[in-house]
Amino acid sequence: MIMNITLAQIRTFERIVRLGSFHAAGRELGLTQPSVSQRIRELEDGLGTRLFIRRGPTISLTAEGTALIGYADRLLETTNQMLERFRTHDPLKGVLRLGLNETFGLICLTELLRRLEERYPSLKTSVQVGDTPTISRLINEQQLDLAVISEPDVADHVLREPIGVNELGWFAGSASDISRGLLTPEDLCPLHLIVTSPPARLYTTVTRWFNQANAVPQRLSTCNYLQVTILVIATGLAVGLVPVRVMQDRLARGEVRQLSVAPPLPGHRVSICYQISEVGPSLRHVVQLVRELIGQYKLFV
């Protein structure tokens, strides 16, 4: 059964509860008392329950009315947030929808969320971490407000600001007996290799690098999760191509080593992308926060 319940009925109910009478609620809402009574009757009919006990001029809530006021408060709060969000076109008035490449997600996301919490304590965030095709598609479909994307493919309604290059490198476990000299694609072909799964940009970069040398890897594994790929490399199970920045701590601890290769692999150009329709002081502040974190953590070159 579909209930015919309106926001006007819920708002009227909430005002009666807060102000203590049908008359006071009608005065605030600009309604006659018969109109207020009609809305409550329709709400009670729709819910199939009584909400008020009337004793002359005084009213009190039934048990179901007491339960409903909690739902009503949350519904009206969400409605007010929604109206403010679309009245101002400000994504920081509701849910800020972020899309991130894994390098930024692994190194900078927690600090970004902490700083947003300080400045906007009521802000909710929705975070998507993924590859270039996925994040580009989401922001093009306006399912994201702002994204940090490697080699983005974005529509005309998305503003794109270049912020640097994500350097890439081949890494092996520290105990590996692979030569420390200069290695070519042909030298890597016999090894067990691991890269990000297609259609990720990293996979495209790897296959192009081998193709340009007319070389074919004999054993190329894929993984769609960067952290797991890093673990596989660190344990010596495979040699992997990953962003250099995400390996810095493991390099410093001597858990992995970077291989020297020729020709060098091209890094991925990274951009901050966001909806043109939402450009304003708040979104600009988030863009600036992202830029500051990228600089602070020396994320891209």
- Domain annotation covers residue 203: yes
- Domain annotation covers residue 115: yes
pLDDT (tens digit, 9 = 90+) per residue, 49-73?
Answer: 999 998 877 889 999 999 999 999 9
Structure tokens at 108: 């900078």
Amino acid 2: pLDDT: 47
Last residue of a domain, one of 47, 72, 88: 88
Count of structural domains, the chain: 3
Please give the mean pLDDT across all residues of the chain: 91
- Domain annotation covers residue 104: yes
Does one domain contain both 115 and 62?
Answer: no
Amino acid 185: pLDDT: 97
Does one domain contain both 190 and 245?
Answer: yes
- Domain annotation covers residue 266: no
Last residue of a domain, one of 37, 71, 88: 88
Q: For residue 258, which of 172, 199, 165 has the smallest C-alpha distance? A: 172
Amino acid at 292: E
The side-by-side arrangement of strands in the sheet containing 192-196 is 219-223, 192-196, 239-243, 168-173, 256-258
Please return the burial class of 90, using the count of CB atoms within 10 Å of its CB with bins 0-12, 13-18 and 19+: middle
- Domain annotation covers residue 301: no
CATH of the domain at 143: 3.40.190.10
Does one domain contain both 222 and 143?
Answer: no
Structure tokens at 282: 């708040």
Does one domain contain both 84 and 208?
Answer: no
Does one domain contain both 289 and 159?
Answer: yes
Which residue(s) pair with 52 in the sheet? 61
Rounded Cα distance between 83 and 70, Å, is 20
Helices and strands (H, E) in the chain, number of each type: 12, 14
pLDDT (tens digit, 9 = 90+) per residue, 19-30?
Answer: 989 999 999 999
Amino acid 116: pLDDT: 92
Amino acid 92: pLDDT: 64
Does one domain contain both 82 and 28?
Answer: yes
Does one domain contain both 127 and 153?
Answer: yes
SS3 call for 264: coil
Does one domain contain both 156 and 279?
Answer: yes
Does one domain contain both 80 and 96?
Answer: no
- Domain annotation covers residue 235: yes
- Domain annotation covers residue 2: no
User: Residue 118, CB half-sphere, CA atoms under 13 Å: how many?
Assistant: 8
Q: Which domain holds residue 282?
A: 92-163+271-296
Rounded Cα distance between 129 and 14, Å, is 40
CATH of the domain at 76: 1.10.10.10
Does one domain contain both 136 and 276?
Answer: yes
- Domain annotation covers residue 151: yes
Last residue of a domain, one of 56, 88, 120: 88
Does one domain contain both 287 and 211?
Answer: no
Does one domain contain both 30 and 110?
Answer: no
Amino acid 197: pLDDT: 92
**Cα separation values, 11 from 26, 71, 256, 259, Å:** 11, 11, 61, 65
Q: Which stretches of the chain score pLDDT less than 50?
A: 1-2
SS3 call for 114: helix
